[in-house]
Amino acid sequence: VGEEIEVLNKLFLNQNDYDFEKKWRINGVDFKTWNDLESYSLPLTDLLIIDPFILKNKDTDTDTIDLNLIQYLNVLCKYSFTKANIIIVTNPRTSDYEYDAIKQKILNSLTEVLGKRPKITLILTYREHDRCILTNYKRVYSGDTFNFWNNRRQKITNGREISYSSLAKRENHDLAIALIADVQETINFLNENNPEYIQGDKVSNF
């Protein structure tokens, strides 16, 4: 109460321009770590991650999970303080983590950030090729993956930019609804044909 205008203003990603889009160059002047995006985080209850390569590279020298997925989840959930539902849609051929292992990593980190244990679901499919993240208020786009840096802080992605799109813009909102419908179609297919490819809590408001 009393923060309504401040929160609503955050739906404009460039507030002075009343803009619904914001882009950063990876390793650019204003985006060298995930923490640089913290001021653009909003409360959320649900988070959908689609990236065929998000769970790839489990190796002592090149492990990208802690410095990418886990750190970015912490940033995205920074102001949520609620039991969030995390859904990860990825390709089983490029996944180096089993569900229990990635669940434990997320729980160890996000339970402290949120103050509550999140619900976590892993969906394994060959049908998704996008690299995007959807929250209650925005959609995040990437190039080839969200694995941007290795544990030596060196850029490993071939992508150039990351971009935010506010769902306060009708066009972005409609595209988000279509995305959810596409993922639901994949879930329905897996439930009928490969139910073991849907693992975890299976909870989402989306």
149-178 pLDDT, tens digit each: 987 888 889 999 999 999 999 999 999 999
- Report CA-CA distances (Å) from 169 to 103, 150, 206: 33, 34, 18
CA–CA distance, 8 with 140 (Å, rounded to integer): 19
Residue 71: is its pLDDT beyond 90? yes
Residue 60: is its pLDDT beyond 60? no
Q: What percent of the chain shows pLDDT beyond 70?
A: 95
Buried b (16+ CB within 10 A) or exposed e, 52-77: bbbbbbeeeeebbbebbbbbbbbbbb
Largest CA distance in the chain: 50
Residue 19: is its pLDDT beyond 90? no
* pLDDT tens figures, 171-182: 999 999 999 999
What is the C-alpha end-to-end distance of the chain, expressed in Å? Answer: 26
Average pLDDT over residues 113-122: 96
Residue 30: is its pLDDT beyond 60? yes
Q: Contact, 82 vs 47, CB < 8 A? A: no
CA–CA distance, 130 with 124 (Å, rounded to integer): 14
CA–CA distance, 12 with 19 (Å, rounded to integer): 5
User: Greater confidence, 135 or 12?
Assistant: 135
Residue 94: is its pLDDT beyond 90? yes
Cβ neighbours of 93 (radius 10 Å): 9
C-alpha R_g of the chain: 16
Residue 26, CA atoms < 13 Å, CB-side half-sphere: 21
